[in-house]
Structure 1
Amino acid sequence: MILGMNHFTVIVEDRQKTLDYYCGLLGLKEGPRPDLGFPGAWLYADGQVQAVLHMYFDRPVPEKRAGLIDHMAFTARGLKAVKARFDQSGTKYELRQQAGAGTWQLFSHDPSGAKVELDFDASESP
């Protein structure tokens, strides 16, 4: 019945820092978003017509965070370049290679605290 993941939605504490993280550091692009009656942004992966990440800016982050989702993960490419951008920006991350499959996994947190995983093919090298 499920065909795939549509999008994640994050509550944003600092609009510009969060857009800098997802667009500047991770390479997503801000794109079309209908007028939903509140401020926000929809972010798109390269070449995709459907937004993969929705965010809104008008609500405070609840004291008690909602849900049990541990992290969101994106398939990525260009490990060396991405790692260099993280190093240059001073953004903390953890890089590890998955046992068995060899997939490279880069974990970090966005400015509001959401955990983000970038998965790179095992053939790439850091």
Structure 2
Amino acid sequence: MSGFVLEGLYHIAIRTFDLDATVAFYKGILGMRDAERPPFGYPGSWLATESGDIIVHLYGGKQGLAEDGTQLYGTGAIDHVSLFCRGFHDIVERLEAAGTVWKEFDVPNTSLWQVFVYDPSGVMLELTFDENVDAIKPREIPEHRRYIAGTSFFAR
């Protein structure tokens, strides 16, 4: 390949029917922060990680709905969005305190541990942790917490 180089994922854009609840989820549960957003002329929010990387763009208002005005849920053909994280025990406490349903998975033959959770618009997020960084002790995952690929646990 000559001059083209794919350097990474720039951001994800989510159309949401409930901008306030979605911003509250990403900021309150995931610890993201507001980032400067150009004046597009419709409601929305740009959210950044602790390091300042703007990785989530939210579209609200009419732009957050389907063309026929109905509310959109889920990720369509994309199953989930994976975010690399630190602080496994902290996120589990936050999810529990918020009463949020979540699942987890230990990736076989790796040091990766995953937490699966849905945002208010039904977008499934995979929060990926390195067991070596987060000192996650190997343990049996309770049946009600076990993530099974391709199985939805989203409830509106």
Establish whether TM, by shorter chain, passes 0.5.
Answer: yes
1:54 to 29, 54, 57: 57
Write out aligned runs for 1:32-47 (5 A): 32-47=36-51
Q: Which residue does the alignment assign to 1:99?
A: 108
Structure 2: stretches of 5+ with no match in the other structure:
138-156
What residue is the counterpart of 1:87 in the other structure? 96
Aligned residues with identical type, % of pairs: 30
Runs of 4+ in 1 over 6 A off after TM superposition: none
Q: How much does 1:30 deviate?
A: 1.2
Instruction: Identify the residue that residue 15 of structure 1 maps to in structure 2.
Output: 19
Q: What is the TM-score of this pair, normalised by structure 2? A: 0.74
Counterpart secondary structure, 1:36: coil
Among candidates 34, 40, 43, match of residue 30 of structure 1: 34
Matched-pair contact (CA < 8 Å) for 2:16–2:121: yes
Instruction: Find the aligned partners of 1:96 and 1:81 in 2 and give their Cα distance.
Output: 17
SS at match of 2:6: coil
| Greater Cα shift, 22-31 or 65-74 | 65-74
Tell me: higher relative CO, structure 1 or 2? Use CA pairs within 8 A at least 6 residues apart.
1
Preserved contact between residue 28 and residue 46 of structure 1 (Cα < 8 Å): yes
Question: Unmatched 5+ residue regions in structure 1?
Answer: none
Contact 2:112 2:130 in 1 (8 A): yes
Considering only aligned residues, what root-mean-square deviation do their CA atoms show, in Å?
1.8
Deviation, 1:102, is 2.6
Larger Rg: 2
TM-score by length of 1: 0.90
